[in-house]
Structure 1
Amino acid sequence: MRLNDIKDNPGARKGRLRIGRGIGSGVGKTGGRGGKGQTARTGVAIGGFEGGQMPLHRRLPKRGFNKWNRKDWNEINVGALQKAVDEGKLKAGQSVDVTALVDAGILRRPKDGLRLLGSGEITAKLSLTVNHATATAKAAVEKAGGSVSVIEKKILEADEAKRKKSAAKKGGTTKKQAAAEE
């Protein structure tokens, strides 16, 4: 076999359908668009058009809001952590974060971080590093002798400046106070 012998299997590549090229092509004259009318013309985008009646998407009220950059957290209860310790997936006294939970097979994937919830009982002493923890979860872990450290959200200087400016406008601080803080 040589390079010049290589070719596609018969029928592997299908040619583009060339419409409006005479009666013999099967798509001549109207070119598959039917006869006359709005859709026979170019530039038609009927989308949700209902013949002039008010379309359904305009009849229904607008509701809700979906944040476009919303974080998707892994959520875990303290009871689930205790169960993992009991099953031997985690060791008491060990430092636990998202990667440790994924490695132990408790979570499937790291997602955007970890949120600790307070449902259930915990007796094992664990050192947890999470993105967010409820007050009850924090209290339960600390009662068992463990610790919870929350990863602080990184605030950009531009965002901080914007926040100070907004606070100054609302009357939270005067412009002189805001300037003194900087």
Structure 2
Amino acid sequence: MKYNELQVTAHKDRKRVGRGISAGQGKTAGRGTKGQGARTGKKLGATFQGGQRTLVRAVPKARGFKSLRTPAQVVYLDTLNALKGKTIDNFLLYEEGYISTPFHTVKVIVRGVLAEKVTLHIANISKSAEAAVVKAGGVFVKTAVPLRQNTKEAEAADAK
């Protein structure tokens, strides 16, 4: 007989403990003698250490709240004076070095005075900054954040 020709059932019946001495697991049924582990009912937790303070309780906890949302990249209003007459979007701000990546939310907030006419195509702007842009003769257009293309897709698009 070969090993791969053995007729073995996949399911093995559970061991029936506590069914008499001759059954092999009688009397205490593998639970030892007396004590908390021998009793029926609720069992001990995975971190229980015999009444000693558990490691989970002993380790210091990190308090507070950690937000998973990355905050918007901030661009100040007075920095837009250097980009006069241009259509400002995420890619232009990235090329000029005002933001770290063009594929993230950008918000313009007020600092200083906007003296030049600009056209903004970005995701967010504060109300006071929008009023300053309109006052200077510019326009704000709410635009979605550009998505980062897969490098293989970008190479295929460049090849066409």
- Between 1 and 2, higher relative CO (CA 8 Å, sep ≥ 6) is seen in 2
* Structure with bigger gyration radius: 2
* TM-score using structure 2 length: 0.50
* TM-score using structure 1 length: 0.44
